[in-house]
Amino acid sequence: MATPVSEDPRYEAHENPPLRSTLGLGFQFSLIASATLLVTPVIVAKASGRDDAYLTWMVFASLLVIGAATLLQARRLGPVGAAAVLPLNTAAFSIPFCITALTDGGPAMLTTLILVSAVLQIVISKWLFILRRVVTPTVSGTVMMILSITLSSVVFDLLNQASITEPVAAPVTALATLVVVAGLTLRGSATLRLWAPVIGIAAGCVTAAALGIYDANLLIQAPWIGVPTQWPGLGLDFSVSFWTLLPAFLFLGVIISIQVNGESIALQRVAWRQARAIDFREVQGALAGAGVANLVAGLAGAVPNIVNAGISSFVQITGAASRRIGYCIGGMFILMAFLPKVSGLLSTIPGPVMTGYLIMVTGVLFVEGARTVIQTGLDRQKVVIAGICFWIGFAFQFDLFVLPDLGPVVNNLLQSGITTGGLTAMAMILFLELTSQRRMRFQSQLNVDALPDLNEFIDNFATRRGWDAKMKERLSAVAEETLLTLAPMDMTLDAEETEENARRLVVLASSDGPVAELEFIGGANEENLEDRISQLQQHDSETAAESEISLRLLRHYASSVRHQQYEDTDIITVRVGPPGAR
């Protein structure tokens, strides 16, 4: 069951804040995100030995692609986009992959590898309901926690680079920024809380200027308006180096999908005043939007993109989840692409200032990841998976031990905590799936006429598990009420609907000790069963409407009900304990 969020958003996704607030919040997030957004293309271009013209193009293309993708996520076109404020960012953990691709094969190879990775992301978005046993909340939350330490390694590198020449000024600047941001967030008024990040960054820049570590040369030298004239060109490279790097980029696509999946879930948890079940149709849209964004990024000569890791923290801090803010953020990214003076201003923000602010962002991101892991219940298996994978990711991210030379492909995979921790999490989930007790399967048309056959299947399942008559009755009642919820009594086949195209029902039955788990897979429904049961719990009344009887009976017999809605597919998972247990 979903649990209440800690703070009620002031503006939900469908609500429109005043224009002044929209512009202020959009500018605020764009200002914060743009500085970190530019870190990845700058590092990739410089570390791979590319010239300034290539660097200028990559920065321009990154801003343009991310702006357009942010608009797409907010607007949603068909199955592409989340219809939520879900801005993208460059993927910092892709840096070693991109550097190797540029060094070994140049821009053409990087383009080819990013395109292949993006296609995989789109495939995952389409078939997410099939991959749900691998891309679980446990995996997503664990990757988010690992992502927080990956981001922190970039964050503290900014501080360390400045501390080499300014051992006192750099940490003092970071501390001043952190104190202002945290103080305003914790104790400021509603208005000050909205502007805490911008005020904190401004205070940090003033501190940096007072201590002599603010360099305005980039701002002074940059033109006001301009478009890069040297495009690296579009080319495809399928050389030996491509096939060597292909496994790394395929896994990079999986990791990006896991990160987007986790961030979309995290955003939904803080974007509503009342707790709701996760809408996996929105998650699928977010995944497809990120995949399309990376297709365009590859063609444009930019770096891979992910969902901005700070958006759920930003929404939780500001209380604003309106799509209108997403439009504003996307538009500002696009505008910045054509205003070198603005990107020059963002580039002048000292590293220690960004460190001070991002310390809070990475901390909130870690907690959100942990909450995603435990949201659906914490058991021994989740504790083991999350704990082991987090520390494996931590160890590889910070080089806590010496590895032998395992070749360029494996070495690249092991350079990031995201890849090592994420791969371990998926491997452990797959191990649990392969070694768990085999599920029994039932299949029929999604119609109330299937009830007798379904009851026979439930009886066989309970008999094989050695359960008594009371447990069989309990399971039969749950199966009947769930079927009636999915296929009401008055539901009949349309005249044009035949055996072949009728909606199908699949029931998977398994057990965990004395507890049964029934998974109903059927056609799509508008309402979420989990939300409806939650509403019944909050507004209990002695007199139940006829349409609520099945829900009340289901709530009575089941220990938990989870409803996952995907495009064209609904999955209702019901756990049933023995009589007398809840």
**Tens of pLDDT, residues 240-254:** 778 777 877 887 788
User: Does 84 lie in the same domain as 26?
Assistant: yes
* pLDDT-wise least confident of 180-184, 229-233, 513-517: 229-233
Does residue 547 surpass a pLDDT of 60? no
User: Which of 148-162, 275-289, 307-321, 544-558 has the highest average model confidence (pLDDT)?
Assistant: 275-289
Give the pLDDT of residue 551: 62
Rg from Cα positions in the chain: 26
Residue 424 domain boundaries: 19-434
Q: What's the Cα-to-Cα distance from 92 to each of 153, 231, 249, 294, rounded to whole Å?
A: 10, 23, 14, 14
In a domain, 322, yes or no: yes
Of the residues 434, 454, 486, which one is the last residue of a structural domain?
Answer: 434
List, for residues 311-326, the tens digit of each pLDDT value: 877 787 777 778 888 8
- The C-alpha torsion from 65 through 70 and 75 to 77, rounded to 10°, is 40
* 57, 230 Cβ separation under 8 angstroms: yes
Mean predicted confidence (pLDDT) in 197-224: 80
**pLDDT given at position 285:** 92
Q: Which of 118-122, 313-317, 414-418, 498-502 has the highest mean pLDDT?
A: 118-122
Q: Domain of 517: which CATH number?
A: 3.30.565.10
Q: Give pLDDT tens digits for 55-96.
A: 888 888 999 999 999 999 988 888 898 888 889 988 877 877
> Are the CB atoms for 141 and 261 separated by under 8 Å?
no
Beta carbons within 10 angstroms of residue 243's beta carbon: 10
Verify that 346 and 469 share a domain, yes or no: no
In a domain, 535, yes or no: yes
Average pLDDT, rounded, for the chain: 79
pLDDT of res. 552: 66
One-letter amino acid for residue 197 of the chain: P
Amino acid, single-letter form, for residue 302: A
pLDDT of residue 2: 41
Residue 221, burial from CB neighbour count under 10 angstroms (0-12, 13-18, 19+): exposed
Domain termination site, one of 434, 454, 485? 434
Whole-angstrom distance, CA of residue 219 vs CA of residue 442? 66
Is residue 445 packed enough to be buried (19+ CB in 10 Å), middle (13-18) or exposed (0-12)?
middle
108 and 215 belong to one structural domain: yes
In a domain, 6, yes or no: no
Count of structural domains within the chain = 2
**484 pLDDT tier (thresholds 50, 70, 90):** confident
pLDDT of residue 391 exceeding 50, the answer is: yes
188 falls within a domain: yes
- Answer yes or no: is 563 within a domain: yes
324 with 364, same domain: the answer is yes
Residues 444 and 430 in one domain: no
Same domain, 255 and 302: yes
Residue-level pLDDT at 72: 93
Helix ranges (H only) for 487-548 are 529-538
pLDDT at 489 over 80: no
Residue 99 domain-assigned (yes or no): yes
432 vs 133, higher pLDDT: 432
Residues 373 and 503 in one domain: no
> Looking at the domain assignment, is residue 239 inside a domain?
yes
Q: Do 491 and 422 have their domain in common?
A: no
Question: Looking at the domain assignment, is residue 271 inside a domain?
Answer: yes
Q: 386, 405, 434 — which closes off a domain? A: 434
Higher pLDDT, 580 or 75: 75
Q: Within this chain, do residues 157 and 203 fall inside the same structural domain, yes or no?
A: yes
Retrieve residue 247's tokens. 């496994």
**Whether residue 478 sits in one domain with residue 562:** yes
Domain match, 416 and 448 both: no
Q: What is the DSSP string of 436-488?
A: SPPPEEEEEESSGGGHHHHHHHHHHHHHHTT--HHHHHHHHHHHHHHHHHHS-
pLDDT, residue 481, reads 81
Do both 493 and 397 map to the same domain? no
**Beta-bridge mates of residue 573:** 519, 562
